[in-house]
Amino acid sequence: MITDSIANDPGYKHSLPSEFLHGYASASYQIEGGYQQDGRGLSNWDVYLKDRDNGNDAVDSYNRWREDVKLLKQYGCDVYRFSVSWSRVKPLGGKDDPVNEKGVQYYSDLIDALLEAGIKPLLTIYHWDLPLKLQERYNGFCTPDSSLIVEDFVAYSRLLFERFGDRVKDWITINEPHAVTIMSSTGLVPDWMMKTSPWMRDKADRSGSRSFGLNHYGTRWATGIKYDTESKLRDDVTLHDKFEFFCGNIEATPRGKDGKMIGNEGNLAQVYDVPWGFRKVLQHVHKEYAEPNGIKIYVTENGFTIAGETTMTTIERVNDVQRQAYFDGYIKQLIDAVREDGIPIAGYMGWSLLDNLEWWVLMKTYKNGSRAHLTFFRGRGWSQTVGVTYVDRDNDFERIPKDTTRLLKQVWEHVVADHA
């Protein structure tokens, strides 16, 4: 375990208020498994990933949630972000479709156990797993008639509020609306096309909240070079094998003008350890969104994937020094943003509690009738792990804490003020 940590720095002792929340995050499809258990209906991902790495069993949290709650308590957490599987509580998804009471009971029991352990439940209503029947009925979130998905989503949300609202006081409506709208991660659109419904963009732009949730992993340099991105994708079908990454039509790269990498490179070049970039993001979000609306920021996802981790021995996985350094540096920058920049940050959730399934997405773009293919792998199934707990899926889903959990418990005990 690393020793050069803010957990050992007297200057950071009690630098965050006692009400600051810290814990870990997860998502239903990525952890639960039990995809045909106790009346759960199929989701878009069950079909899309049926011949790839998938969440049929995931890490079996549907049956091992008690173990997960014990881990959260062991890790010293006071908040846990999780999502509800829409198709587990309403198998067919629609406003007039029946409720699966066994699915509702699963989440009710989880919430009760969290509260009993002194852990605040932070519930994400929609983390990308759409009931398959809604995709088949009207193309899910990509429907041209927005009233269909809106009515069904409202009915689903109302069910959660009615059943869990007496105990759950903090909610996230949709995880990463940008991904939902721009990349159509919400469902099986024909050929998994990359498309956006204009009404969804409008709804997202005009939404309101009591807080700003931020998912952040890494930083790249913006070169300032502009591209006709669609033409480039059409002309170069191997683009996904190259280092360029496009933000709109601006090239971004992990290498500076001197050719040096911007920070320690994670698995598959998806994440780079750039703590100062995290602080800049916090500053930007505060200036543009949080401060004008008088709201606080919660970091709802933040984590690091180590190159080659899935091929390591158990001892090597547990000794996750790179992940420890990543979290330590990012939390330090968060504290500096609070103390020096005056940014009101109220909580932090690391991604993720467990070595869960990471999203495996194939997308295709179209332009003027001609097809340009872009293969986009986000996480690549079981070939990439981001969790702080190793899950041995070949040994009855045994949960083995990584050293990051011990470090972060020490960090939070040191930097968060004692409760009065």
Tokens of 140: 């899910």
**Rounded CA separation 326/305 (Å):** 10
Across the range 71-80, mean pLDDT stands at 98
Instruction: List C-alpha distances in Å: 322 to 30, 228, 264, 280.
Output: 23, 37, 8, 22
Q: Output the six-digit token pair for 54.
A: 């998938």
pLDDT at 234: 53
% of residues, the chain, pLDDT over 70:
81
Q: Mean pLDDT across the stretch 237-264?
A: 64
Q: What pLDDT score does 177 carry? A: 83
User: Average pLDDT, stretch 249-270?
Assistant: 83
For position 362, what pLDDT does the model report? Answer: 52
Does domain 6-217+276-362+381-412 match CATH 3.30.300.90? Answer: no
| pLDDT higher than threshold 90 for residue 227 | no
Question: 140 pLDDT exceeds 70?
Answer: yes
110 exposure class (CB count in 10 Å sphere: 0-12, 13-18, 19+):
buried
User: Hey, how many other C-beta atoms are within 10 angstroms of the C-beta on 66?
Assistant: 12
Which of 2-6, 129-133, 236-240 bottoms out in mean pLDDT, i.e. has the lowest? 236-240
Residue 183 confidence (pLDDT): 53
Is 176 marked active-site? Answer: yes
Using only the alpha carbons of the chain, give its radius of gyration.
Answer: 21
Q: Residue 418 has what DSSP assignment?
A: P
Q: What is the pLDDT of residue 198?
A: 40
Cβ–Cβ under 8 Å, residues 136 and 148? no
Q: Which of 19, 32, 151, 301 is catalytic?
A: 301
Rounded (5°) CA angle 30-35-36: 175
* pLDDT at residue number 220: 80
Residue 301 appears among annotated catalytic residues: yes
Return the SS3 of 104.
helix
Structure confidence at residue 372 as a pLDDT band (50, 70, 90): very low
pLDDT digits (tens, 9 = 90+) for 317-356: 999 999 999 999 999 999 999 999 999 999 999 999 999 9
- Write down the pLDDT at residue 237: 47
Average pLDDT over residues 165-187: 78
Predicted pLDDT at 178: 75
pLDDT at 342 (0 to 100): 98
pLDDT at 179: 74
CA angle 152, 128, 214 (to 5 degrees): 115
Please tell me the predicted confidence (pLDDT) of residue 228. 58
Tell me: the pLDDT tens digits for 98-107? 999 999 999 9
Per-residue pLDDT for 199 more than 60?
A: no
Question: Would you kindly state where each structural domain of the chain is located, as residue ranges?
Answer: 6-217+276-362+381-412
* Active-site option among 176, 230, 265, 398: 176
Pairing of β 296-301 and β 345-351 = parallel
Mean pLDDT is lowest, of 68-72, 83-87, 145-149, 242-246, for: 242-246
